[in-house]
Amino acid sequence: MNNAESVLIVEDELISAMSISELLEQEDYAIAGIAKDADTAMRICREKAPQVIICDINIKGELNGIELAKQIRTLYNSQVIFLTAYTDTNTVESAAAVDPVMYVVKPFNDRQLLVAVQMAFHRLYKSQLPVRNTSLQLTSREMEIAQLVGQGLSSKQIAGQLFISEETVKTHRRRMLQKNNINNFPQLIYLLKGAKGA
pLDDT attached to residue 164? 96
pLDDT attached to residue 46? 96
pLDDT attached to residue 197? 53
Centre a 10 Å sphere on the Cβ of residue 174 and count the other Cβ atoms it contains.
Answer: 12
Q: Is residue 116 part of a domain?
A: yes
Give every residue of the chain whose pLDDT is below 70, as ranges.
1-4, 129-134, 195-198
147 and 116 belong to one structural domain: no
- Domain harbouring 110, CATH code: 3.40.50.2300
99 and 149 belong to one structural domain: no
pLDDT attached to residue 129? 66
Question: Which structural domain, as residue segments, surrounds residue 172?
Answer: 140-195
120 and 149 belong to one structural domain: no
Q: How many domains does the chain have?
A: 2
